[in-house]
Amino acid sequence: ILVTDTVGLLTVFAMQVFQMNKPQIKRAVAVACSAYPIVGSELLRLRLNPETRIPFNEVGLQAAKEIGDVAAEGSHLGNLGIAYAQLGQARKAISFFKQRFVVAKKTESLSAECSALGNLADAHSMLGENEIARRYCEDEISIRRKLGDRRGEGNTLCSLGLIYANLKKFEK
């Protein structure tokens, strides 16, 4: 068994224990359930398809709420949105990304706001709602400039250029 498989098996076990509702160990297990889909998010994306990742993040979201970890709650919402977007369920993804944005505002995390705005732009673009996507990109660019995040600004400008191409506004 690979280390990643062992960690995954332990996490599945922890998820099951968390759902048993045993108060004496629930908090410790909730912390593990909330942390793994965040810390292991890249590993999960590489090894698991979106349908399989969704339950990890649903339990992680529930656990984050249980322990009051608002930042982790936001990460799980974003990861759920990404999984649903990858499944082609853009409307459901948008719902999660909007919740992610609200949490980012609450925690005053400008980088998390940018992430949510970019994801919202992508999801609306998937639906052909390019004017809405454009507005989200412009909001993201504004925040990236405030942060001095030139790389993020450049990436978002590239996305905005693609949106303008979809809108047939080639002069932009």
Six-digit token string for 76: 């799980």
Residues 6+ apart with CB under 8 A from 151: none
Structure token digits, residue 157 = 């400008």
Contact status, residue 63 vs residue 31, Cβ threshold 8 Å? yes
**pTM for the complete prediction?**
0.78
How does DSSP assign 112-166, residue by residue?
HHHHHHHHHHHHHHHTT-HHHHHHHHHHHHHHHHHHT-HHHHHHHHHHHHHHHHH
Sequence-distant (6+) residues with CB within 8 A of 20 are none
pLDDT tens digits, 14-32: 666 666 666 656 666 666 6
**pLDDT at 2 exceeding the cut of 50:** no
Task: Tell me the per-residue pLDDT of 74-132, one tens digit each, with 9 for 90 and over.
Answer: 999 999 999 999 999 999 999 999 999 999 999 999 999 999 999 999 999 999 999 99
- For residue 3, pLDDT over 50 is answered with no
Give the span between the Cα atoms of 97 and 150, in whole angstroms: 23
